[in-house]
Amino acid sequence: MRPWSQGLAWAGAAGLLLAVFAAPFLWMLATSLTANQDLFVQAGGQAWLWPERLTWGNYVEVFTKIPMARYLANSLFTAMVHAVIETAVAAGAAFVMTAVGGRWGRRLFWLLFAAWLIPHSFLVLPRFLVTVAWPRLLPASEFWTATRSLDLGWGEMVLGSLLGLDSFLGIILPGCFSATAAFLLATALRQMPRSLLESARLDTGSAWRSFWDICLPGIRAPLVVVGFMAFHGAWRSFTWPLLIASSPEMLTAPVGLMAFQNLYQTQWSLLMAGGVVLTLPSLLLLFIAHRHVIDQAHVYEGESDPL
């Protein structure tokens, strides 16, 4: 096959994959810009592929009919804190498995691999029971379960309870240990020369300094990937916040969008407009993470250059 025809074939395959993956988002965008009463043609029941009249007011209604700004703030807070804690815990677990080494290190590695195989749905009920039991395991006091609010001057912002149901910590903490993240970072640390880790520990005199000064800079790109995966997973999480949050002030954005669905009618235009709003932060973070990973790969290539 000639080089130009091979390149054309690869370009055609890439364009086809792009169309397949972009089609749902384009449909969601087109639906969000269509008036709800114009979505379906009465005669054939077919949805318009692109509206003749763009209805930008759907995005305004999303923020006026429901407290979407509060839901987005809840999602942003929980996703950011979750991403930081999950990345830190995964990095620490990966370093411990790498530092132990030998037979016990391999056992920990395969134990983590076995935990990675457990379906996520199997962990929902145990995590829920543990979250409910948190306040009961501590000294009896309303300090853990009392609903708190923050006075902003123009109004109060409900912060929920400290632990248990209807709390930010209840939404964030139970899912902060990810076997996938720890397995990914452990694999990245295993690619580093063990002699480098041992010499760094001898030079610094502590495992913490070797972890902070040598290991973390060496796996910066995997850390960015793990952080993005943690943020994106918490940002789009639906089932767990639905189980934990009960008051309207504690709902996250994916759960809050349920207001546009009921037993008899679904406001598809407003639901898709909210979906577009939810997608934009993930796309922005993906672009930033992608650029960072590519730049870091170029740095590694430069460091390995024999010149």
User: Is residue 174 situated within a structural domain?
Assistant: yes
Question: For the chain, what is the domain count?
Answer: 1
- Average pLDDT score over residue span 253-263: 81
Rounded CA gap, 250 and 233, in Å? 18
Decide if 31 contacts 39 (C-beta within 8 A).
yes
User: Is residue 47 situated within a structural domain?
Assistant: no
Rounded CA gap, 277 and 64, in Å? 14
Its domain, for residue 271, covers 55-303
pLDDT in tens, 183-213: 888 888 877 777 777 776 777 667 777 777 7
Average pLDDT, the chain: 77
* pLDDT number for residue 159: 62
* pLDDT number for residue 101: 65
Higher pLDDT, 241 or 204: 241
Residue 303 has pLDDT above 50, yes or no: no
User: Is residue 296 situated within a structural domain?
Assistant: yes
Tokens at 30, concatenated: 């087109």
Q: Which segment, 40-44, 139-143, 270-274, is predicted with the most confidence on average? A: 270-274
Decide if 28 contacts 47 (C-beta within 8 A).
no
Tokens at 94, concatenated: 């990966």
> Which pLDDT band holds residue 76 (cuts at 50, 70, 90)?
very high
- Can you tell me which residue has the tokens 């930081």? 84
User: Is residue 63 situated within a structural domain?
Assistant: yes
Single pTM value for the model: 0.80
Rounded CA gap, 227 and 181, in Å? 9
Tokens at 239, concatenated: 């089932």
Instruction: Give percent above pLDDT 90 in the chain.
Output: 7
User: Is residue 200 situated within a structural domain?
Assistant: yes
CATH number for the domain that contains residue 271: 1.10.3720.10
Tokens at 169, concatenated: 């910590």
